[in-house]
A and B are shown apart, each in its own frame.
Chain A
Amino acid sequence: MKALVVYPNRELLYAASTLGGEVAALVFSEREAEAVKGVAHRALVAEVDPRLPDAVAEAVVKAAQSYQVVLLPSTKNGKTVGGLVAQRLGAEFLTDVLTLRVEGGVLKAERYVFGNKAVAAVEAAPPVVVTVAPGRFQGQPPAVQTTVEKVALQAGSKMKIVSVEEKARGAVKLEEAEIIVSVGRGFKKKEDLQMAFELARVLGGQVGCSRPIAADLKWLPEEHWVGLSGKKVKPKLYLAIGISGQPQHIAGILDSRIIAAINNDPSAPIFQNADYGVVEDLYKIVPILINKLSKTKG
C-alpha cells in the first residue's frame, strides 16, 4: 500500500515501508526534506507551520489523494491532524496501533482498548489514517531514491498561536531509565517521597509516579507521571510503591522487563501485574531496603 508519512521519523518511515508500496514524507521545510533523503521515495514540502493542526491537515488532504494510508506519530498534534484528515477523506482512523499489516487489500492493526484490559484487532479498507504507538516499530527503512516536490497551498489556519511556554523540565528522562522507583498515593505526605528518591539514588534509578501524585496533589512535576495519559516506560526494573495498579497506570508499564510492587493491601490489583510483590507497609520496608542496598552497593 502506498503510504504518506506526516511528521516523519525513522520509526514511522520504517512502519510505512513494511506496507510494501511507495513511501512519501510530508515535511514542512527544505531542511526537513533533506533529512528524509534516501529513506522515502518522495519528499513533499508544504510550507505551513507544523504547530497548526488545521493547516497541516489541509496539506495532508491535498497530498493524500494518491496514497492509501496516512501515517502519523501518536502525539497530540498528530492525533488532531489525523482526526481532521480522516473525516475529510471519509476514512477510518486507527490510533496508537501496536502492529500493522496489509492483507487482501485491507489494513489490519492491533491496539489496546478498554483501559488496557483487551486488545482489539481492527481492520479498515483504504483510505486509512493511522497513528503508531511509539517504540513498536523497530527497524531501518530501506534505502531509496528521493524526489523532492512542493505542495502548493493557499488556505491559512483558523488558529493563532499567541505564546508558547516550556514545561518545567528536570533531568528526568523516564523513557530511557533502566530502573524506575515509582510512587503512588500510598505516600501520606510530600516529604515522604524523599524515601523514594533515596531508594532510587541507591539503585541508580529515577523516580516515577502515578497520576494523582502529579496531577491532583502536584507533589511532583508531570514529567514523572507514568501511565495511559502519562509516560510509557520500559525499564528493566519497575518498582511500584504504594500504587494500586489501576489499568490506566499499568498501561504505561507493560513493556517493563521486571515489575516489583510494595503495597500493604494483599488484594491490590498491582500484584496481578507484578513479577514480585511484597505485602507490607511502605513506611516500614522502604527504609530497610535503602539500608540494605546501600550497604551492599557500598
Chain B
Amino acid sequence: MKVAVLVKTALDTGQLRVRDTVATEETPLKISDIDRNAIEEAVKLKGQDKAYAVTVLKWGPLQKKAQEAENVLREALAMGLDEAYLVADERLLNASHVVTAKALAAVVKKVGADIVLAGEATVDNYTGQIPARVAAELGWPVVTYVRELRVEGGRLIARRDLEDHVEVVEVQLPAVVSVTREINQPRIPTLLAIRAAMKKPVNRLTLADLGVEVAPRIAAAYKPLVIQRKKVVIKDGTPEEKAEKLIQYLRQEGVI
C-alpha cells in the first residue's frame, strides 16, 4: 500500500524563547510530535510499497529553515519512510491554510497514495485543520482522531477517539486519516537506519512546480503569554513545617 505522511516541520516550542517578544525566527524546527505516530503507522502499513513524507515549510527565514526542514525530514526517513518532499517557497511563509492544504494535496496527487496519514494536530499551532482540508482538496473521505486502524480489502476500519466515546467507522480507500498519540509507540531509529536515511531522496518543490496559486496571507502577531501567579516557594524547614505553611497560605486565600 502506498502511503503519504503529512509531516509538519514545526517550531520546537520547547526551545521557543519568550521574554518581551516571541522569537520564532531563531527557534529550531522539529518533527511535530504526533506526526511520529503517523510515520510509525505508515511504516507498518506500507508492506512492499513505498511511504513518503510531505511537508510545507511555513516558517522563515526560508534559506535557513529549508535546510533545517531537510534535516527534520531525514529523521522521518530514518524511521522507515522511503522518500521525502519538501515544498519550500517564500510565498508559503505565513500563507493561508487554504494554500498549505492545496500544496500538500498537489504533492499527493503528483506522487500518488492509497492513504494519507497525519497527526491529529501540530505541536506549534495545534489547530488540527490540515487533514480535513487536504481531504476536501483531494475529494477523499477523512477519518480524524484515529487510535486504531486496520485495512481490509480496500476498506479502512478505524476507531475514532472522541470526547465521550469511541466510534468504530468504515470508509473506502483512498482516504485521509489523522491519528492520536495513543495509536502506537513510535520507533527510535537505529544508527544504521539514520545512516541509510542520509542516502534517501529529499525532493524540493516550489509552488510553481505544483501549479498552486497563492491566496492572501493570514495576518498573525504573537505576544508572550504572561502568567500572573504569586510564585511563592516554600523550601526551608522540615516537611512538617512546610505542610503547615502551605495550609496557612491556602487558608488565607480561602480556598480550603
A237 CB-CB contact with B under 8 Å: yes
* Min CB–CB distance B112 → chain A (angstroms): 20
* Cross-interface CB contact of A277 among B127, B231, B255, cutoff 8 Å: B231
Asked whether A77 and B233 contact (CB < 8 A) given A83-B131, A116-B225, the answer is no
Tell me the B144-186 residues at the A interface (CB within 8 Å): 144-145, 157, 160-172, 181-182
Kindly state the interface size class of chain B when it binds its partner: 35 or more
A259 x B229 contact (CB < 8 A)? yes
B220 x A279 contact (CB < 8 A)? no
A135 CB-CB contact with B under 8 Å: no
- List the B side residues contacting A112 at CB < 8 Å: 225
Q: Contact flags (1/0) for A60-88 with B, using CB distance below 8 Å?
A: 00000000000000011101111110111
Tell me the A20-40 residues at the B interface (CB within 8 Å): none
Segment from A7-15, A136-144, A153-161 that makes contact with B: A153-161
A279 to B235, CA, bound (A): 5
B192 CB-CB contact with A under 8 Å: no
Q: Contact flags (1/0) for A92-123 with B, using CB distance below 8 Å?
A: 11111000000000000000111111111111
A112 to B129, CA, bound (A): 16
* Min CB–CB distance A251 → chain B (angstroms): 9
* Min CB–CB distance A60 → chain B (angstroms): 12
Closest to A246 in B: B14
A164 to B164, CA, bound (A): 10
A77 x B247 contact (CB < 8 A)? no
- Interface residues of chain B: helix, strand, loop or mixed (majority): mixed
Q: Contact flags (1/0) for B44-86 with A, using CB distance below 8 Å?
A: 0000000000000000000000000000000000000000000
Asked whether A273 and B229 contact (CB < 8 A) given A115-B13, A166-B165, A278-B234, the answer is yes
A163 to B172, CA, bound (A): 17
A80 to B129, CA, bound (A): 7
B227 x A236 contact (CB < 8 A)? no
* Cross-interface CB contact of B222 among A119, A123, A166, A237, cutoff 8 Å: A119
Segment from B194-202, B203-211, B237-245 that makes contact with A: B237-245
A275 to B165, CA, bound (A): 35
A-B contact pairs, 15 of them (CB 8 A): A53-B144, A84-B132, A84-B133, A84-B136, A87-B101, A87-B132, A90-B215, A95-B128, A161-B167, A166-B164, A260-B246, A285-B239, A288-B239, A292-B243, A293-B247
Residues of A within 8 A of B (CB): 51, 53-54, 57, 75-77, 79-84, 86-88, 90-96, 112-125, 158-167, 169, 179, 203, 215, 228-229, 236-237, 247, 250, 254, 257-260, 266, 271-281, 284-285, 288-289, 292-293
Residues of B within 8 A of A (CB): 11, 13-14, 16, 18, 22, 96-98, 101, 123-137, 141-145, 157, 160-172, 181-182, 215-216, 218-225, 227, 229-235, 239-240, 242-247, 249-250, 253, 255-256
